[in-house]
Amino acid sequence: MKKRVALVLGSGGARGYAHIGVIEEIERRGYDIACIAGCSMGAVVGGIYAAGKLDEYRRWIESLDYLDVLRLVDVSFRLGAIRGEKVFGQIRKIVGELNIEELRIPYTAVATDLTNQQEIWFQEGCLHQAMRASAAIPSLFTPVMQGNRMLVDGGLLNPLPIVPVVSSHCDLIIAVNLNATNQKHYQLPVIQRPPAFKSRFNSLAKSLGSHLPFRRKQAEQLMKLEQEALQAQAADINPWLESAEPESQQPAAAPEKPGAPKSATGSFIIDNVGPASLLDLINQSFEVMQTSLAQYKIAGYPPDVLINVPKRVCRFFEFYKAPELIALGREIASDTLDRYESEQP
C-alpha cells in the first residue's frame, strides 16, 4: 500500500521551482501526496499541483529565458515593484477558475495579514487569490487587498507551514525548506540551452528572409530595438534588473582569502559582497528572517523527512533558471529519500 504524504512547500522566491523536482521524485517512488500546505512559491507550485496542472506549468516556465522573464515584469509605482498581473494572469490561464474546495486534495496557502498582523490560512475560496496573496513578496509584488486586510507573502511569519498538515493523519510529513545553509556540496546543474538573443535573432531573421543582406540588417536592428525596449522597461525598476542579472554578466566571486573571518556557524564571511540595490537589500533581509523562522518551525514541529535546498544556489529573483532548479530539487529529494528509506525497518 502506498504511503500517504503530507507535503509542506516552503517559500524562497525562484528556488521554489525546486519544489517541482521534489514532487516528481516523491511520485516516482510511489508515495501518494494526500495533502499540501505551501507558502509563497510553495503555495503557487502546491496549488497548481493540486489542480492537476503541474506538467503544463512546468512546460511554460522551462520555456522562459531571461528576456521572457523581463517581459513578465509589469511595473508598479506603489507598494511593490511589480503588479504581477502578467505572471499570475498566465497562471490563471493554466489553472483556470477554481475554488480550493474543488481541488483533488486538501490544500492550504499561507499569507500574512499586515493590517491585523497575523497569519492567514486559505483553505477555501478562490485558488488564484490564495496563491497570489501568499506570493505577494514585500517590495517586489504589490499586496492583495481583501476587504480591510492587506495580504502579503506568508514567509513574513511562516516560511515553512508545517502546522496546517499536522492533523492530516498521513503516514509521514515531508517538508521542503528552501532556505537551508548547510548543504554546501550541492551545486546548481549546468543545462545547455541556446542563448536567448541568438535563438530570437535566428527566428526573426528567418521570418524576414535572412538570405537577403538588407533583410538581415533589418532583423539585427529589430533585435537591437527589442533589447533596448526591454532594458528601458527594466530600468523603471532598476533593482530588479540588477538583482536578476544573468550569471554570465555578473563578476566572478572573489577567491577565499587565508584567515578570512568566519561566522558563528563556521562559514566564511566574504568581503565586499553586499546587496546591489535597495530592493536587493530588502529581499536579502527578508531571506535572513525566513531562514531563522524556518529553523524555529522545524524545531517546533519536526517533519518525518526534511528536504533542504540551499539558498545560495540562486538569487531570489532568478526565475529564468527553472530547468536547473527543477533538476536540483529532484537530486536533493532523491538523496534525502534514499537516506530516509534506508533507515526504515
pLDDT, tens only, 297-308 = 999 999 999 999
**Distance between CA atoms of 86 and 89, rounded to whole angstroms?**
5
- H or E segment to which residue 288 belongs: helix 278-300
Question: Helices 41-50 and 18-28 meet at what angle, rounded to 10?
Answer: 40
CB 286 within 8 A of CB 13: no
What nine digits make up the cell of 305?
Answer: 523527512
- What is the arithmetic mean of pLDDT over 106-124? 96
CB 136 within 8 A of CB 112: no
- What is the arithmetic mean of pLDDT over 245-270? 45
Lowest mean pLDDT among 126-140, 174-188, 195-209, 213-227: 195-209
**Distance between CA atoms of 273 and 261, rounded to whole angstroms?**
14
Q: What is the pLDDT of residue 118?
A: 95
**Distance between CA atoms of 296 and 282, rounded to whole angstroms?**
22
**What is the percentage of the chain residues whose pLDDT exceeds 70?**
71
Checking if the pLDDT of 249 tops 80, the result is no
Domains and CATH numbers, the chain: 2-190+286-341 (3.40.1090.10)
Q: What is the pLDDT of residue 153?
A: 92
Catalytically annotated residues = 40, 153
Choice between 209 and 142, residue whose per-residue pLDDT is larger: 142
Q: What is the pLDDT of residue 214?
A: 43
